[in-house]
Amino acid sequence: MTRKAIWLLASLGLLLGVLHLGLTLPMYRQLSLEALWFAGSGLAVVCCALMNIAALRNRTPSSRWAVVIANLLIASFFAAAWPLLPSPQVAVGFIIFIVLAAYFGPITLWQERAVRRTLKS
C-alpha cells in the first residue's frame, strides 16, 4: 500500500469521527449522558485517525505499535457496535481501522525488514 492510500484511509477515519461528533446535537437535541457517550465515541475515532496521520511522519517502533493497538481497539469497538447497529458507517469504520492496523503493524514491519536486507546486500 502506498502512503497516499494510508493517508486517504486515515483522512476518511477522521471524517467519520467528525461526522459522528457533528451529529450529536441533531440526534439528541439536548445534552444528556447518551449524547456525551455518542460524542465521546466520535472523539475517540477522531483521536485515533489523528494518531495515524501523525504516525505517517514518525517512524519509531514504539509510536508505530501504539497506533496499531489504538487501531485494533477502535476496530473492536466498531465490531462490537455491529450487532446493535448493522449499518454501513459501522462496517466502513471497522474496515478503515483494520486496514490501518495491518499497514502500521505487519506490513510496515515487513517493508522495513526488506529494506534492511537490501541495504545489507
Reported as a single tens digit per residue, the pLDDT across 95-117 is 999 999 988 887 777 777 777 78
- Mean pLDDT for 7-20 is 95
- Non-local (6+) Cβ contacts of 15 within 8 A are none
Among all chains, which residue has been given the C-alpha cell 441533531? 26
Separation between Cα atoms, residue 87 and residue 81, nearest integer Å: 9
- Mean pLDDT for 60-88 is 91
Separation between Cα atoms, residue 26 and residue 84, nearest integer Å: 21
**The pLDDT value given to residue 59:** 73
Q: How confident is the model at residue 60 (pLDDT cuts 50, 70, 90)?
A: confident
Which residue, 96, 97, 41, 107, is CA-closest to 70? 97
Where do the structural domains in the chain lie, given as residue ranges?
3-120
Reported as a single tens digit per residue, the pLDDT across 28-59 is 999 899 999 999 999 999 999 999 999 888 77
- Non-local (6+) Cβ contacts of 63 within 8 A are 54, 55
